[in-house]
A and B are shown apart, each in its own frame.
Chain A
Amino acid sequence: MNEHGASYYGRPIVRAPIWKAEIAWYLFFGGLAGGSASISFIARLRGNDPLRTRLLLIAACAVCLSTYCLIKDLGKPERFLNMLRLFKPTSPMNMGTWIFSAFSGSVFTVLAAEFFHIPALGAIASASAAFLGPALCTYTGVLLADTATPVWHDAYPDLPFVFAGGALASSGAAALLTLRLDQAGLARRCMLAGVALEVLGNARMMGRLGDFLAQPYRHGKAGNFAAASERLTLAGGALALVAGKNQWANRAGALLVFGGAIYRRFAIFEAGKQSALDPKYTVVPQRERADRRAGASA
Chain B
Amino acid sequence: MQEATSAAAEMATYGLEADERYGFFTDTTLCIGCKACEVACKEWNELPQDGYNFTAESYDNTSQLSGTTWRHVAFIEQFALPVERPDPAEGPVTVRIGDGVPPQSDQSGRWLMSSDVCKHCAHAACLDVCPTGALFRTEFGSVVVQQDICNGCGYCVPACPFGVIEQIPKDGRVGKCTLCYDRLKDGESPACAKACPTESIQFGKVDELRERAQKRLAAVQNEFQGAQLYGADEGDGIGGAGAFFLLLDKPEVYGLPPDPVVTTRDVLKMWKFAAWAAATTVGVLVLSGMLPD
Q: Which residues of chain A have a CB within 8 Å of any CB of chain B?
A: 5-19, 35, 38-39, 42, 45-46, 73-77, 79-80, 82-83, 85-86, 88-94, 97, 130, 133-135, 137-139, 141-142, 145-149, 152-153, 156-161, 163-164, 167-168, 182, 185-186, 189-190, 193-194, 197, 272, 276, 279, 282-283, 286-287, 289-290, 293
Q: Are B284 and A91 in contact (CB under 8 A)?
A: no
Which residue from chain B places its CB closest to the CB of A152 in the assembled complex? B158
Q: Taking A79-B150, A134-B285, A194-B284 as given, write out 4 further A-B residue pairs in contact, using a Cβ cutoff of 8 Å, ordered by the A residue number.
A: A83-B151, A88-B130, A89-B271, A147-B125
Q: Are A85 and B129 in contact (CB under 8 A)?
A: no
Interface size class of B (residues with CB under 8 A): 35 or more
Q: Mark contacts of B147-180 with chain A using CB atoms, 8 A cut-off: 1 yes-contact digit, 0 otherwise.
A: 0011111110111111101110001111000000
Q: Are B255 and A11 in contact (CB under 8 A)?
A: yes
The residues of B that contact A85 with a CB separation of less than 8 Å are: 132-133, 149
Q: Are A161 and B151 in contact (CB under 8 A)?
A: no
B74 within 8 A of A: yes
The residues of B that contact A88 with a CB separation of less than 8 Å are: 130-131, 133
Instruction: Using known A-B contacts A85-B132, A91-B128, A161-B280, determine if residue A8 contacts B151 with beta carbons closer than 8 Å.
Output: no
Q: Can you list 17 contacts pairing A with B, beta carbon distance less than 8 Å? A: A5-B252, A6-B253, A8-B252, A8-B253, A9-B55, A9-B57, A39-B288, A42-B288, A75-B150, A88-B130, A137-B277, A137-B278, A148-B161, A157-B269, A160-B274, A164-B277, A287-B259
The residues of A that contact B132 with a CB separation of less than 8 Å are: 79, 82-83, 85-86, 94
The residues of A that contact B150 with a CB separation of less than 8 Å are: 75-76, 79
The dominant DSSP class at the A interface is: helix
The residues of B that contact A17 with a CB separation of less than 8 Å are: 154, 157-158
The residues of B that contact A139 with a CB separation of less than 8 Å are: 274
Instruction: Using known A-B contacts A7-B252, A92-B129, A168-B284, determine if residue A148 contacts B158 with beta carbons closer than 8 Å.
Output: yes
Contact of B256 among A13, A45, A134, A163 (CB under 8 A): A13
Which residue from chain A places its CB closest to the CB of B66 in the assembled complex? A15
* Top 9 A-B pairs, shortest CB-CB distance: A75-B152, A75-B172, A8-B255, A185-B293, A79-B151, A160-B277, A94-B131, A134-B278, A42-B289
Q: Mark contacts of B281-293 with chain A using CB atoms, 8 A cut-off: 1 yes-contact digit, 0 otherwise.
A: 1101111110101
- Rounded to whole angstroms, the CA-CA distance of A134 and B281 in the bound complex is 6
B88 within 8 A of A: yes
Contact of B158 among A94, A276, A293 (CB under 8 A): A276
Contact of A156 among B57, B273, B291 (CB under 8 A): B273
